[in-house]
Amino acid sequence: MRTHVYDKICKQIETLTANNQNRNILFLIFSELLQGNELGLDYLVKQFGMYGKHKVGRSSIQRMLMLLTDQGLIKVDIWGNRFDHRANHYTTTATGHDLIRTSTKAYWSFSDFKRKRNTARVGDSIFTEGIWSEHQSFVHDWLNFLPNNPETHSFIEGLLNLESHDLYFKRLKALQMKGAPQRQRQLKNIPNNRFQAHYRPLRSGRLQSVPHMFIGKELVPFILPANDPYLADGILFSLDYSSQELRILASMLSEASPIRQWALNPRNRFAELLDIYKIELSPDLWKGFMYSFLYGSNGSALADQLSYDEVQNLGYYSKWKAARAIVSDFKAKVPEVTELRDHFTNVFFQDYAITAPGGFIRYVNPEEDLTKKETIKTNKARQIPLSHIIQGTGAYLARTIIAKSINMKYGRLHIPIHDGFVFYCKKSLFSEALMEAQILLTSVAQTIIPLVELPHKIEWIRGIEEQV
């Protein structure tokens, strides 16, 4: 699979060689590298034949890999093994990563770069997932997005403390787990040695780890503290908020809303809400549908997930018509949600920006969100405002927990992952650290969204026999 390559990398390619074929080879190498792929010579020859007019020799590709290495743009992260039929895995150096970080656009091919067509803006997940540099900090980025107040300063202090603890990833052990094959790209992007994680702001205000460490709850336990890589002395445990985004929504609705009433009971799950509204959806689809509806979907996301048997059971012969009917039915049952979304949409139209609790602002992006007449696109106005408020509130919770975690006595925050938080403590202090972390999550939730219950649960524990 081919992917976009950043404009400053393309400019660098221009300076390295005047030969168009070599330029295309270099472009292909970066395209594969940004996807986390192993760069085997035979594999690259095959890929070039798929996307180029002519195949090239292994020696030509080898020369281009050596050229990039000599220029200090890439380096071998994991050496291959001919007996295991495994090629070298490369990653960008700090110099190469600077080209990525300072780029504003990306291109599908080198000819697109030369002709300035098929341009994509940097900001999509494809450009930011798993890109790692050993000398990277995003503190200034946070300061540009957040208000200059004591709350922000406390968060930055907690963030620097969090980033100061080195990590160690047990890649080989992780690869043996059940969910590993589906996440090999993410696993390859985590350094196979001692490393530091940094956290950059997404447009929603959420934290994105660099390297990308959201690799599933089955695999996250293999990201260990570097000072205790075998958990000989310590324990890792994960706490996770339950139905966080839906409960945040409930806090903004009136007391009469069934969603608000549902959120008052910390034991309630999505299934109970399904019973309340009597939507003809399977429990497996209900959660995804609910969130896609909140964030402005007109039914297309649901249509992709519906099976033809489910469509026929609903009395339709088209997935799209069935999905639209379900959305229309649910919209009529939750007028308070529609009113809330319309309110924030009007604010977005008026201010060309929307501010989440905690002060994180999302401005209109002229290239993505505006029409040629410089009015906000209808679908963007429907999708962005409410999602920013809800996800931004969740991000506010995470930033506050990071800020307050610096005062923990019995344990420390290890990794924050959206609405989940991994903690580390000494084995002798596990009971105290667990209670301390639970009190931290509870107190922050009660402070930021006091009108509803935001419960949390233990996702997993590692380092003791009673592992969950």
Would you call 68 helix, strand, or coil by DSSP? helix
Indicate if the pLDDT at residue 60 is higher than 70: yes
Indicate if the pLDDT at residue 197 is higher than 80: yes
Indicate if the pLDDT at residue 441 is higher than 70: yes
Mean pLDDT of 74-100: 77
The domains located in the chain, with CATH, are: 5-123 (1.10.10.10), 129-257+334-468 (no CATH)
Nearest CA among 260, 177, 270 for reference residue 220: 177
pLDDT, tens digit (0-9, with 9 covering 90-100), for 300-353: 777 877 877 777 877 788 888 888 888 888 888 888 988 998 899 888 888 888
Sign of the CA dihedral with 213 first, then 217, 222, and 227 last: positive
pTM attached to this predicted model: 0.70
When pLDDT is cut at 50, 70 and 90, the band that residue 179 belongs to is low
How many Å apart are CA 59 and CA 170, to the nearest integer? 34
Instruction: Please say whether the beta carbons of 111 and 12 come within 8 A.
Output: no
Mean pLDDT of 347-376: 85
Cα end-to-end distance, the chain, whole Å: 37
Is residue 148 left, alpha or beta, with left meaning phi > 0 and alpha meaning psi from -120 to 50? beta
